[in-house]
């Protein structure tokens, strides 16, 4: 039987925080912060006492304020119609949807996404995400090799998976498998390396404790600067140029 959610409000560092507390069949407590107007969720075990929930929330208020402020300006869903900006390796491109066989072609300032229904955002989105998945599988493997070479201690991930995730850039399982968000391919190489290094640190320290952040500082002293790149808004390098679709398209 589903339990009705509870709601708690906190005021911290002049930031009003509205929390939805959801009891479910789980073993741990977790906080999920979402972009846009969706309410932040705290998911807790069914029989977790309220004093533990309050302690958990209060110990993370600084992090909550930072996370909410970072995500507040981001839209919940990207739009996939001509003229919208989309990123690839940290650079902003203007998306142009056109008719043709499913595929994506990059020109200096545009991403040409061709499909049978270019007026359908859902279809354009699917083709674009298929392109990102294929690209990310190659890019992330290459960056993993580079990050492992620079990592200060010997670690060995048991595997690398790539998939689209809504609430995180990467994760590391207790068995040592690292999973990276396909959408990370839209960010800069510096940001990609930061996320990979973050997950490599979890192979040594699974929790976000003091030892974890000490290792993160040792492995990548400028990680906070790189992390900020994950929440930067896309800006075109120059006004979009009027251009025609390329005569020859490479399809994926």
The pLDDT of residue 189: 94
| pLDDT value at residue 243 | 41
Are both 29 and 121 inside the same structural domain? no
Do 210 and 90 fall into the same domain? yes
Sign of the C-alpha dihedral computed for residues 118, 122, 127 and 128 taken in this order? positive
The parent domain of residue 175 ranges over 85-231
| 98 and 12 part of one domain | no
pLDDT digits (tens, 9 = 90+) for 1-20: 556 788 888 888 777 888 99
By CB atoms closer than 10 A (0-12, 13-18, 19+), residue 1 is exposed
Residue range 161-194, pLDDT digits in tens: 999 887 688 888 889 999 999 989 999 999 999 9
- Domain for residue 245, yes or no? no
Higher-confidence residue: 249 or 110? 110
Residues 195 and 96 in one domain: yes
- Give the pairing type, strands 110-115 and 91-99: parallel
Residue with tokens 């120059």: 238
Separation between Cα atoms, residue 153 and residue 211, nearest integer Å? 13
Phi, psi torsion values for 128, nearest 5 degrees? -65, -45
- Find residue 177's DSSP bridge partners: 159
Per the model's pLDDT, the better-predicted residue between 206 and 37 turns out to be 206
* % of the chain residues with pLDDT over 90: 40
Helices (H), the chain: 50-58, 61-72, 121-150, 189-202, 210-219, 223-228
Give the residue carrying structure tokens 């993370």.
60
| Number of domains composing the chain | 2
- Whether 34 and 137 share a structural domain: no
Q: Based on the domain organization, do 221 and 113 belong to the same domain?
A: yes
Has this prediction a pTM greater than 0.75?
no
216 lies in the same domain as 147: yes
Closest CA to 68 of 111, 145, 124, 11: 11
Question: Do the domain assignments include residue 250?
Answer: no
CATH number, domain with residue 219: 3.30.2010.10
Residue 90, φ and ψ in degrees, nearest 5: 85, -5
Nearest to 122 by CA among 89, 79, 84, 180: 79
Same domain, 97 and 212: yes
Does residue 108 sit within a domain? yes
Q: Are residues 60 and 39 in the same domain?
A: yes
Backbone angles phi, psi at 97, to 5 degrees: -95, 130
């Amino acid at each position: 039987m589903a339990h009705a959610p509870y709601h708690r409000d906190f005021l911290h560092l002049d930031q009003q925080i509205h929390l939805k507390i959801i009891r479910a069949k789980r073993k741990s407590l977790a906080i999920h912060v979402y972009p846009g107007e969706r309410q932040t969720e705290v998911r807790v075990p069914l029989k977790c006492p309220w004093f533990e929930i309050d302690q958990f929330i209060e110990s993370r208020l600084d992090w909550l304020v930072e996370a909410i402020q970072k995500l507040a300006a981001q839209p919940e869903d990207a739009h996939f119609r001509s003229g919208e900006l989309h990123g690839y390796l940290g650079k902003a491109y203007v998306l142009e949807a056109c008719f043709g066989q499913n595929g994506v072609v990059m020109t200096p300032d545009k991403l040409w996404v061709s499909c049978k229904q270019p007026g359908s955002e859902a279809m354009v989105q699917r083709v674009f995400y298929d392109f990102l998945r294929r690209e990310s599988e190659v890019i992330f493997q290459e960056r993993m090799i580079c990050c492992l070479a620079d990592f200060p201690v010997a670690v060995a991930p048991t595997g690398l998976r790539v998939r689209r995730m809504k609430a995180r850039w990467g994760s590391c399982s207790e068995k040592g498998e690292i999973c990276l968000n396909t959408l990370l391919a839209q960010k800069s190489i510096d940001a990609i390396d930061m996320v990979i290094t973050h997950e490599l640190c979890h192979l040594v320290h699974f929790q976000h404790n003091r030892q974890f952040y000490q290792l993160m500082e040792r492995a990548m002293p400028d990680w906070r600067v790189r992390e900020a790149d994950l929440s930067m808004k896309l800006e075109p390098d120059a006004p979009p140029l009027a251009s025609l679709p390329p005569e020859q398209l490479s399809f994926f």
